[in-house]
Chain A
Amino acid sequence: MSTYDRRRFLQLLGSSGMLMASMSPLSAFAMSGSPSARVIVVGGGFGGATCAKYLNMFDPSLSITLIEPSKRFKTCPFSNAVLSGFQNIESISHGYQAHEKRGINVVHDKVTQIDATAKTVVLSGGEKLSYDKLVLSPGIDFKWDLVEGMQASDANTIPHAWQGGPQTTLLRNQLVSMRNGGTIIVAPPGNPFRCPPGPYERVSLIAHYLKQHKPKSKILILDAKSKFSKQPLFMQGWEKLYPGMVEWVAADKGGRIDEIDVKNKILHTESGSKHKADVINFIPPQKAGAIAHTAGLTNSDGWCPVDQRTFESKMHADIHIIGDASIAGKMPKSGFAANSQGKVCAAAIVSAVHGKTMPEPSYVNTCYSLVSPDYGISVAAVYRYSKDKGIYKVKGSGGVSPKVADKVFRQQEARYAKGWYDSITSDSFG
């Protein structure tokens, strides 16, 4: 057995407390005692990584397996800074050493099947793992069938860059090789989708790059919506920092895209106009990550209905879905929300395993956006749960940054945006 094979064999064994125990009973006892339950967490983004960590903090006797294909996860937050060129891809990459150190069994693989009755998951090589509780944090997938003229593989030509990693690098390279005086089209999807202010932060930070390196260029936003998150604040920022560079076309003014000519880089809108661009960033309509569909956990809109108090699926018992894939009441689909949900879900699972009543859930979200590296804006809210309303916003809390604010205020929010990134990545991956 090679070192790799042996390590992997042990990893897989480790995810089954019984097997491990039957091989070497005394050492297994000495190492961890008997696990109070076996929990498998699928997906190592903000939701899954946080949930696994907090499960372990709440109850170190749990046997926890975190399954995530990437060895180093690339975040969507701050990927726009990579597109803009003031951060590199390494700065948004995070490993799982801290999880391993906690005794969480990290398996770098993909789950291909879930059997909700037998309570097993199957990995890409066919290995089967058993669970008492399963947490899915599968993120998003795309509804390519709704896009005329484009399919998944065309993302190699027209990147969405809505999942961090190679897509981010591809779009960055296209921006770098574009001529001065070129046109970039950013085409955001309709609601709901991952990170509501994200496309507009992207426009801002691409404009920041263009202003320095290709000032004759333009950005056209062809939007599937007629309003967007923090709209007055973004528009104020664009006018102040990038006058004349950004044009936004709302859905009801002919912004909605009808068809994409990938080869010629032409977008056709519903209203019949055609737009040719040097670089196109088409962000497709979205649905829950693929495994949620395979496992029969989604509704007809493609998202996962859950009990918003515990995040347990309404389709199958003992499966919890958190993050972008879940339907979480008033909470937006964001890394911050996924982190918050990961903690609530961990508390629900640990309480259930030990026959306790879980504490009243409390959830929170803040979405920072950079209009430039030293110009930040935010939207925030505190959330609670009620049986009638599901997850609702606490009245009187939250809101957006003030429209009237001086330079120092915006600088401070930009500083806190970076501080937030340092904190949430250490809270999730550290």
Chain B
Amino acid sequence: MYIKRTVGLLLFGSCLSVSSMSSAVEISQSTMLANSCAACHGTHGKSPGAIPAINGKSASFIVQSMNDFTSGKRPSTVMGRHASGYSDKEIQLIADFFSKQ
């Protein structure tokens, strides 16, 4: 009986304790930006097909590539059209994300 009651209280408590449980979850700007790359480069940059995987590339390599795509120094089909949509600061955040995958 005692055990049963405790469980009941626990259960009731669990429905109310949303905020205390949840403080750990925060989505960074870096994650938001990088997630938009995943439709072509795969979730977390792990491409399963013909498009190059970008997970685990160094941040400096990604930054350099993005800048060279924008300037046209590095020829591309579509990357020049994407890279030009992000500021230097955003490119750094994207590069940081994929370098850690």
- Interface residues, chain A, with chain B CB atoms under 8 Å away: 18, 21-22, 25-26, 29, 33-34, 36-37, 54, 58-59, 61, 336, 339-340, 343-344, 347, 350-351, 353-356, 358-364, 366, 378, 380-382, 394, 396-399, 401, 409, 412-413, 415-416, 418-424, 426-427, 430
Interface residues of B in 50-75 (CB under 8 A from A): 50-51
B82 within 8 A of A: yes
Please give me the residue from chain B that is nearest to A365 by CB atom.
B39
Whether the pair A364, B39 counts as a contact (CB closer than 8 A) is: yes
29 A-B pairs in the complex with CB atoms less than 8 angstroms apart: A36-B18, A36-B25, A37-B18, A54-B35, A340-B39, A343-B35, A343-B36, A356-B25, A361-B32, A366-B40, A378-B77, A378-B78, A381-B81, A394-B86, A397-B81, A397-B86, A398-B81, A398-B82, A401-B77, A416-B50, A416-B78, A420-B39, A420-B51, A422-B47, A423-B38, A423-B39, A423-B48, A423-B51, A427-B38
Bound complex: CA A412 to CA B18 (Å): 50
B21 within 8 A of A: yes
Contacts of B1 in A (CB 8 A): none
Q: How many of B's residues come within 8 Å of A, CB to CB?
A: 41
Contacts of B25 in A (CB 8 A): 36, 58-59, 350, 354, 356
Q: Assuming A36-B21, A413-B77, is B41 touching A423 (CB within 8 A)?
A: yes
Contacts of B39 in A (CB 8 A): 336, 339-340, 364, 366, 420, 423-424, 427
Whether the pair A409, B47 counts as a contact (CB closer than 8 A) is: no
B29 within 8 A of A: yes
Contacts of A360 in B (CB 8 A): 29, 32
Bound complex: CA A380 to CA B27 (Å): 26
Contacts of A364 in B (CB 8 A): 36-37, 39, 82, 85
